[in-house]
Structure 1
Amino acid sequence: MADTSAIQEHMEVIGADGVHVGTVDHVEGDRIKLTKKDSGAEIEGAEGSHAGHHHFISLGLVAEVEGDKVRLSANADVAISFEEEEAG
């Protein structure tokens, strides 16, 4: 398992395919909270309304932390399907 303690604010989250998924706001429990302004709304295959609120990615999807990037074990379009939305 990846060293998720190395995840920092403003790191880029990318899928296994190298496609941008979002930007880290912070780690909250066992999830990465993505910034509101950049939470995967532009990924091809993403469904629903992804703008205007935070989304979360499970730390279980993190394959590795390399430099200023968090690489997921799933391709971006699959990772988006696992995203959780902030309860509002």
Structure 2
Amino acid sequence: MFEKLRIKEHMEISGSDGEHVGTVDKLENDQIKLTRTDSSDRQHHFLAFDLVDRVEDNRVYLKVPKSEAIAARI
């Protein structure tokens, strides 16, 4: 289990396949708000904390590959 407090602004988020999913803008409730610059529609999107596998080396690693993470965005 990871500690939510270890997730900081501007951390890169990678899928389980190592692909770039996004960048942390900030934390809101039980979600990670992604920066708009990583989104093709230039809108903020959110990922649920339960998708996070671990936080290490200034990066957030997800339990799912990029394609599933993109599909799960809010």
After TM superposition, which residue ranges in structure 1, 4 or more long, deviate above 2 angstroms? Answer: none
What is the root-mean-square deviation of aligned Cα atoms in Å? Answer: 0.9
1:8-87 pair list within 5 angstroms: 8-39=8-39, 41=40, 51-84=41-74
Structure 2 gaps of 5+ residues are: none
SS at match of 2:47: strand
Matched letter for residue 9 of structure 1: E
Q: How much has 1:5 moved relative to structure 2? A: 1.2
- Cα shift readout 1:30-85 (whole Å, capped 9, x = no counterpart): 0000001113x4xxxxxxxxx2210000001000001210000000101111100x
- Taking every aligned residue pair, what percent have the same amino acid on both sides? 46
Q: How much has 1:4 moved relative to structure 2? A: 1.8
Native 8 Å contact 1:32 1:59 kept in 2: yes
SS at match of 1:5: helix
Matched letter for residue 12 of structure 1: E
Look at both structures and tell me which one has the larger radius of gyration over its CA atoms: 1
Matched letter for residue 13 of structure 2: V
CA distance in 1, matches of 2:71, 2:36: 17
Matched letter for residue 4 of structure 1: K
